[in-house]
C-alpha cells in the first residue's frame, strides 16, 4: 500500500499541554493516527521536543508550549517526502533520518518525527492485517509485560510531596497480567483510604495518577506502601515488591544530593551509601535513577555493591540513546534501561536501543511519560518488543488505563504468556 497523505495538527496531552498528532492515509482510504507524549521530569540528553517559545508562532495562552513549528515541519517538509511511497516503517524512518540527520532531531523536532514514525508503524500493521504488537512479534505467543505501577508520587509529578519521584509496586508473584493488575488496583485504592484515615493529604493526584501523599522521608513512604500490600494478604518481597523512581537529577545541586523534605544533604559517596542502606532495609526490587544523569562514578560505585537481584534502572542516565547505553554497558553503570520512544524520536531507532540492551543482558522497561494521550500504542510496542516490563503510571486517568486496557484486550483475544522478569 502507498501513502497518499500525511497530516499533522496540534492536540492536548493529559496535562492540558499541546503536543503533536500525525495521520498517515493509505491508498485504501484508511487513516492511521498517532499522538506523542511529553515528559515533565526530562533528562538533559533527550531528543529535542520542538516548541514555539520565543517565536512568532507561540500561543499566548499556552505559555509558549504550542507546537506549531513541529506541526508545520510535518506538513511542509516530511509529507512531500513520503507521499507516493510504499508504507514500511523502516523506509519511513530512514527518510526521516535523511531529512533530519541530527542526533537529537532538533531540526524537525523529535515530537514531529516520532508522531509520523508511530503513524507509519500503525499503517504498516494495517497493511499486513496485523495488530501493532504482531507487527513486531508475528509468530508465537505474545509476551505480556509485567506492570510497574505508581502508588505514591512526588518530585516533578506531584509538587514535591516526596523528595523522590515515585514509590511503585511490581506484582512479580502474579500468574497473569489481569491478576497483576487487580493486585495493583487494590493496593492503590487501599493506600488512598489509609491516607485519608491517617489525616494525610490525598486530594492531590499526580500527573501519572499516583497519590500525592506527603512523607518526610523515603523510608516512611516505603513502609506505608508495604503496610497496604500486607493488609491485603499479599507478601511484600515475594508477591509484590517495591520499585523506586528516585529521579535524583532533580535534587542534585552543586555536587550534592539535597533531600528537602527529609532535611538531609549528601555528597555523592554518602548518597551511594544511603541508597545501599535503603535497598537493604526495604523490599525494593528495582531502583530507577538513584544518581544524577552525569554522575557516572556514583552509578558504577553503587552497581559494584548492589544486590545481584536488584534492577538498577537508568532513565535520565541513558535517555534511550545508543551512545549513552553503550557507555553504561562498558562502565557497568546499570543492568536495566527505561525505554521511552519520545526520548529517541523514531520507532525503529528506539527498538534498536532495546535490542542492544537485551544483547548486553540488560532488562528493559518500556515507559510512558507524565504527559500522555489516549493512545494505546505503547502497550503494543512493549508486548511486540518482548520488553518484559511496562511502566505507564497509576490506574487512574483514562490516558493510563487506555494502556492497561489494551494489555487486558491482548490477554483476552490473543495467544499470550505473562512475562516473569524477576
User: Catalytic site residues?
Assistant: 208, 340
Helix (H) or strand (E) holding 328: helix 322-331
**CA angle at 80 for the pair 76 and 83, rounded to the nearest 5°:** 140
With contact defined as beta carbons under 8 Å apart, do 155 and 212 qualify? no
Count, in order, helices (H) and strands (E) of the chain: 14, 16
Q: How far is CA 410 from the centre of its chain?
A: 20
Please return the burial class of 371, using the count of CB atoms within 10 Å of its CB with bins 0-12, 13-18 and 19+.
buried
Distance between CA atoms of residues 404 and 418, nearest Å: 14
Report the C-alpha gap between 364 and 199 in whole angstroms. Answer: 38
What are the DSSP E strand ranges found in 121-255? 142-144, 146-153, 166-170, 241-245, 252-253
C-alpha cell at 109: 523536532
State how far the Cα of 408 lies from the Cα of 402, in Å rounded to an integer. Answer: 10
Strand pairing partners for 242?
169, 284
Distance between CA atoms of 23 and 11, rounded to whole angstroms? Answer: 12
Amino acid at each position: 500500500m502507498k501513502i497518499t497523505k500525511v497530516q499533522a495538527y496540534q492536540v492536548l496531552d493529559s496535562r492540558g499541554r499541546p503536543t503533536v498528532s500525525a495521520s498517515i492515509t493509505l491508498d485504501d482510504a484508511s487513516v492511521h493516527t498517532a499522538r506523542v507524549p511529553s515528559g515533565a521530569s526530562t533528562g538533559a540528553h533527550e531528543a529535542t521536543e520542538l516548541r514555539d517559545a520565543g517565536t512568532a508562532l507561540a500561543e499566548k495562552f499556552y505559555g509558549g508550549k504550542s507546537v506549531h513549528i513541529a506541526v508545520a515541519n510535518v506538513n511542509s517538509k516530511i509529507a512531500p517526502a513520503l507521499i507516493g511511497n510504499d508504507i514500511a516503517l523502516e523506509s519511513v524512518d530512514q527518510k526521516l533520518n535523511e531529512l533530519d540527520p541530527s542526533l537529537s532531531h532538533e531540526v524537525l523536532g523529535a515530537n514531529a518525527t516520532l508522531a509520523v514514525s508511530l503513524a507509519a508503524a500503525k499503517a504498516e500493521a494495517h497493511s499486513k492485517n496485523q495488530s501493532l504488537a504482531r507487527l513486531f512479534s508475528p509468530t508465537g505467543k505474545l509476551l505480556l509485560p509485567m506492570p510497574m505501577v505508581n502508588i505514591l508520587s512526588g518530585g516533578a509529578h506531584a509538587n514535591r510531596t516526596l523528595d523522590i519521584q515515585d514509590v511503585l509496586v511490581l506484582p512479580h508473584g502474579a500468574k497473569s497480567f489481569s491478576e497483576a493488575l487487580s493486585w495493583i488496583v487494590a493496593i492503590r485504592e487501599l493506600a488512598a483510604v489509609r491516607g485519608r484515615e491517617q489525616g494525610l493529604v490525598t486530594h492531590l493526584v499526580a500527573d501519572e495518577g499516583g497519590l500525592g501523599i506527603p512523607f518526610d522521608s523515603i523510608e516512611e513512604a516505603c513502609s506505608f506502601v508495604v503496610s497496604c500490600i500486607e493488609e491485603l494478604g499479599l507478601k511484600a518481597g515475594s508477591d509484590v515488591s517495591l520499585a523506586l523512581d528516585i529521579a535524583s537529577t532533580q535534587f542534585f545541586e552543586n555536587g550534592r544530593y539535597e533531600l528537602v523534605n527529609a532535611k538531609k544533604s549528601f555528597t555523592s559517596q554518602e548518597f551511594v551509601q544511603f541508597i545501599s542502606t535503603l535497598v537493604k532495609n526495604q523490599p525494593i526490587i528495582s531502583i530507577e535513577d538513584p544518581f544524577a544523569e552525569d554522575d557516572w562514578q556514583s552509578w558504577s560505585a553503587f552497581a559494584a555493591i548492589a544486590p545481584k537481584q536488584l534492577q538498577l534502572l537508568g532513565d535520565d542516565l541513558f535517555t534511550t540513546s545508543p551512545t549513552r547505553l553503550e557507555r553504561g554497558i562498558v562502565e557497568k553503570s546499570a543492568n536495566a534501561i527505561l525505554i521511552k520512544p519520545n526520548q529517541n524520536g523514531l520507532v525503529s531507532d528506539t527498538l534498536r536501543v532495546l535490542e542492544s540492551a537485551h544483547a548486553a543482558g540488560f532488562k528493559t522497561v518500556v515507559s510512558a511519560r507524565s504527559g500522555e494521550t489516549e493512545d494505546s500504542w505503547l502497550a503494543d510496542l512493549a508486548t511486540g518488543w518482548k520488553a518484559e516490563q511496562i511502566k505507564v503510571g497509576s490506574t487512574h486517568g483514562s490516558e493510563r488505563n487506555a494502556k492497561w486496557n489494551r494489555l487486558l484486550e491482548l490477554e483476552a483475544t490473543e495467544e499470550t504468556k505473562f512475562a516473569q522478569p524477576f
